[in-house]
Amino acid sequence: MGSEMTDVREAVGVFDNADSLEAAIDELQSSGFDRAEISVLAGVDTVEKKLGHRYKKVAELEDDAEVPTTAFVSTEAIGDAEGALIGALLFIGAVSVAGAVVASGGALAAAYTAAAIGGATGGMAGIGLSSFLERHHAEYLQQQLDRGGLLLWVRTRDAAHEDRAKKILSKHTAHDVHVHGLPDN
């Protein structure tokens, strides 16, 4: 890489399952680490496109400052998104169909029936999209697990922060826990 190192450092660890990773992230956040200081490995396709080559194991990427990362999306956040998606499409479907019936001079009972049908149709579309979100997230996790685990990086501010991050990662069964410097940009 040839870049000079700065005082910017981060802790890194590899997790063997999503539950341990999420527990570590929860504890990091409740221990004073900001969400912006915590990142995970981007999707396999994104990583390989950015690096220009395939990788076999996540261990190859632990200390690579060029590897693309992303914010972790928790299971709860996915559930929230699914609920919002289903609810929004349910509402849009119901209102648009009922509005069309009323605008065309339809009776109130017909508008209610149309709203129920439109809502059900929108809700079914929302369920289909939320199922896609779940599958996509599960595939993302599985692809990384197949390559050796789930990488987590935690930006640290000082030695005390480094120690706290390493202890939390280790407590939640991360392996290969260490701290490295980041190149000066």
H or E stretch including 181? strand 175-183
- The predicted pLDDT at position 137 comes to 57
Tell me the pTM. Answer: 0.63
- Write the CA distances from 86 to 81, 107, 121, integer angstroms: 9, 27, 10
- The predicted pLDDT at position 166 comes to 96
- For 29-171, strand residue ranges (E) read 38-41, 69-70, 150-156
- The predicted pLDDT at position 35 comes to 86
| Residue tagged 């979100």 (tokens) | 133
- The predicted pLDDT at position 149 comes to 92
Sketch the domain layout of the chain as residue ranges: 5-73+137-183, 77-130
Over its length of 185 residues, how does the chain's per-residue pLDDT go in tens digits? 444 445 789 999 999 998 898 899 989 999 999 888 998 888 878 777 887 777 788 888 888 888 887 777 545 554 554 455 445 444 444 444 444 444 444 454 444 444 444 444 544 444 454 555 567 557 877 888 888 999 899 999 899 999 999 999 999 999 999 998 877 65
What's the CATH number of domain 5-73+137-183, 1.10.3470, 3.30.70, 2.60.120, 2.80.10? Answer: 3.30.70
d(C-alpha 48, C-alpha 51), whole Å: 5
